[in-house]
């Protein structure tokens, strides 16, 4: 059995071709990694928006429950707050329905300030005829958007 040595002939044009392949692969991988990073950032933004929207839904439902519990206050809930601390809830004070509405606004405004981004605001519109209809609206700034995000809840107690 004889073993022959196989000689390969390389031309001078083939030298450095592997380096070009490596550089092209690096560019392709870099573009792919940038795409993954962009998708990750978009996912974080969408998650943040979802958290704020869920918080707004919960805050609006909270105020709706407060209104239902204090129906005699009527138009006292209308406006933009922030209300005053009347110490009606868990306090020793006997409050009128209007004072309780003012206290509800104060508590609710504090929750909005703590749970939504800075610059968030709330408004309650009351349409009293023929039956009272409350429209609770929350707005908050979203990064990367020119207009504020908002959530509205319409309540007919």
In a domain, 125, yes or no: yes
Rounded to 5 degrees, what angle do the CA atoms 85, 91, 92 make?
120
Which two tokens mark 30? 């870099």
In a domain, 3, yes or no: no
In a domain, 11, yes or no: no
In a domain, 147, yes or no: yes
**Cα–Cα separations (whole angstroms), residue 22 to 11, 33, 53:** 20, 16, 46
Q: Which has more confidence, 33 or 7?
A: 33
In a domain, 7, yes or no: no
Give pLDDT, residue 36: 95
In a domain, 97, yes or no: yes
Mean pLDDT of 104-128: 91
Please list, in sequence order, all residues whose beta carbon lies within 8 angstroms of the beta carbon of residue 135, skipping any fewer than 6 positions away: 124, 125, 126, 127, 152, 153, 154, 155
Give pLDDT, residue 126: 92
pLDDT at 131 exceeding the cut of 70: yes
pTM check: above 0.75:
no
pLDDT at 52 exceeding the cut of 80: yes
Mean pLDDT of 143-154: 89
pLDDT band at 12 (very low <50, low <70, confident <90, very high): low
In a domain, 5, yes or no: no
pLDDT band at 15 (very low <50, low <70, confident <90, very high): low
**Cα–Cα separations (whole angstroms), residue 52 to 8, 18, 49, 84, 143:** 67, 51, 5, 25, 12
In a domain, 38, yes or no: yes
Q: 37-51, 86-100, 131-145: which has the minimum mean pLDDT?
A: 86-100
| Phi (first) and psi of residue 24, to 5 degrees | -65, -40
Mean pLDDT of 132-150: 90
Give pLDDT, residue 44: 85
Beta-sheet pairing, 149-155 with 121-127: unpaired
Residue position matching structure tokens 């573009």:
31
Domain span at residue 40 reads 18-155
pLDDT at 132 exceeding the cut of 70: yes
Give pLDDT, residue 59: 95
Structurally, how many domains does the chain consist of? 1
């Amino acid at each position: 059995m004889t073993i022959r040595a196989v000689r390969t002939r390389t031309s001078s044009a083939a030298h450095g071709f592997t380096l070009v392949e490596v550089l092209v692969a690096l560019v392709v991988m870099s573009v792919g990694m940038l795409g993954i990073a962009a998708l990750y950032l978009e996912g974080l933004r969408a998650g943040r928006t979802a958290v704020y929207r869920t918080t707004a839904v919960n805050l609006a439902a909270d105020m709706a429950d407060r209104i239902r519990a204090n129906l005699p206050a009527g138009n006292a809930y209308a406006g933009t707050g922030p209300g005053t601390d009347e110490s009606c809830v868990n306090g020793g004070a006997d409050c009128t329905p209007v004072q309780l509405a003012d206290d509800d606004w104060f508590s609710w405004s504090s929750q909005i300030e703590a749970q939504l981004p800075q610059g968030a605001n709330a408004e309650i519109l009351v349409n009293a005829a023929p039956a009272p209809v409350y429209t609770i609206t929350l707005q908050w700034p979203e990064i990367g958007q020119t207009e504020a995000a908002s959530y509205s809840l319409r309540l007919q107690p």
